[in-house]
């Protein structure tokens, strides 16, 4: 549904100047479509099923470094978490905007990335500056790396105080599935309850 909405917003080529040459529902499809069509700019979902946006960037690295026809990536995500932003930028994305962006601003961002500019939603630029300006950028969090992308999403919503039913509705999954994810997160992080989980997430600035 979201992809359909984006296409309807930016795909009016006569008005926007953007031609949509393909779409994908998961990492494998994305890599295939990108390799086949060689678009100038890819709108990349950070939490794309099958490994996430970082995996797409890793597998498409040769295309990004092509001097004659570089493929550039613009991350488009519901997440505004620092680790998501920094992860895809380190992976090679040229920008990161959130899904609250307007259609007009998204089109503008696409053309700016095409021109080689770096584009960020205002709040997110600080994350990148902090991470790359510091000589002691935060190391990889091994505990966090144990979690899947979905588990991270559930963790973040739990830490923000959402009830299981609210999380289920937001992520389009069942309450039982939410409970399973929470149990897995608690087990992997060796925590006892959601209060400890909230403190853990807050300490890492994931909320």
Q: DSSP secondary structure string, 136-160?
A: TPPPP-HHHHTS-HHHHHHHHHHHT
Average pLDDT over residues 110-131: 80
Please give the average per-residue pLDDT across 159-182, as a whole number. Answer: 90
Query: Nearest 5 degrees, angle CA 76-CA 77-CA 80?
Result: 120
pTM of the model as a whole: 0.63
Lowest mean pLDDT among 19-33, 132-146, 149-163, 172-186: 132-146
Q: Could you tell me the CA-to-CA distances from 155 to 68, 83, 103, 112, 166 in Å, in that order?
A: 42, 14, 30, 34, 13
**What integer is the mean pLDDT of 105-128?**
84
* Residue-level pLDDT at 135: 47
Q: Is the per-residue pLDDT at 6 higher than 60? A: yes
Query: Which residue did the predictor score with more confidence, 23 or 81?
Result: 23
Q: Is the pLDDT of residue 137 over 60?
A: no
Mean pLDDT (the chain) is 86
Question: Is the CB of residue 112 less than 8 Å from the CB of residue 95?
Answer: yes
Which stretch, 47-51, 80-84, 172-176, has highest mean pLDDT? Answer: 172-176
Q: Which of 25-34, 70-79, 94-103, 198-207 has the lowest mean pLDDT?
A: 198-207
Instruction: State residue 16's pLDDT score.
Output: 92
Tally Cβ neighbours within 10 Å of residue 200. Answer: 19
Please determine, for residue 31, whether its predicted confidence score (pLDDT) is greater than 80. Answer: yes
CA angle 86/185/56 to nearest 5° reads 35
Tally: H helices and E strands in the chain: 13, 4
**Among residues of the chain, what percentage have pLDDT more than 90?**
40
Alpha carbons 161 and 72: distance in angstroms, whole number: 36
**Residue for token digits 């946006």?**
53
Our measurement of the distance from residue 150's CA atom to the centroid of its chain's CA atoms, rounded to an integer in Å, reads 12
CA atoms of 164 and 24, how far apart (whole Å): 29
Residues 74-82, mean pLDDT to the nearest whole number: 84
Q: What is the DSSP string of 176-188?
A: HHHHHHHHHHHHH
Q: Which pLDDT does position 131 carry in this prediction?
A: 60
């Amino acid at each position: 549904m979201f992809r359909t909405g984006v296409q309807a917003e930016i795909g009016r080529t006569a008005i926007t100047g953007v031609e949509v040459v393909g779409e994908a529902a998961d990492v494998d499809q994305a890599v295939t479509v990108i390799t086949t069509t060689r678009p100038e700019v890819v709108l990349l979902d950070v939490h794309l099923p099958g490994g996430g946006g970082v995996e797409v960037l890793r597998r498409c690295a040769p295309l990004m470094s092509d001097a004659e026809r570089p493929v550039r990536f613009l991350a488009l995500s519901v997440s505004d978490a620092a680790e998501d932003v920094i992860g895809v930028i380190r992976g090679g994305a040229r920008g990161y905007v959130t899904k609250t962006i307007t259609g007009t601003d998204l089109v503008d961002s696409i053309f700016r990335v095409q021109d080689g500019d770096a584009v960020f939603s205002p709040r997110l630029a600080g994350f990148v500056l902090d991470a790359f300006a510091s000589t002691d950028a935060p190391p990889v969090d091994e505990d966090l790396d144990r979690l899947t992308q979905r588990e991270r999403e559930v963790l973040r919503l739990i830490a923000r105080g959402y009830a299981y039913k609210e999380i289920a509705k937001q992520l389009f999954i069942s309450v039982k599935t939410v409970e399973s994810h929470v149990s897995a997160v608690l087990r992997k992080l060796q925590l006892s309850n959601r209060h400890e989980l909230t403190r853990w997430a807050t300490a890492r600035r994931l909320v």
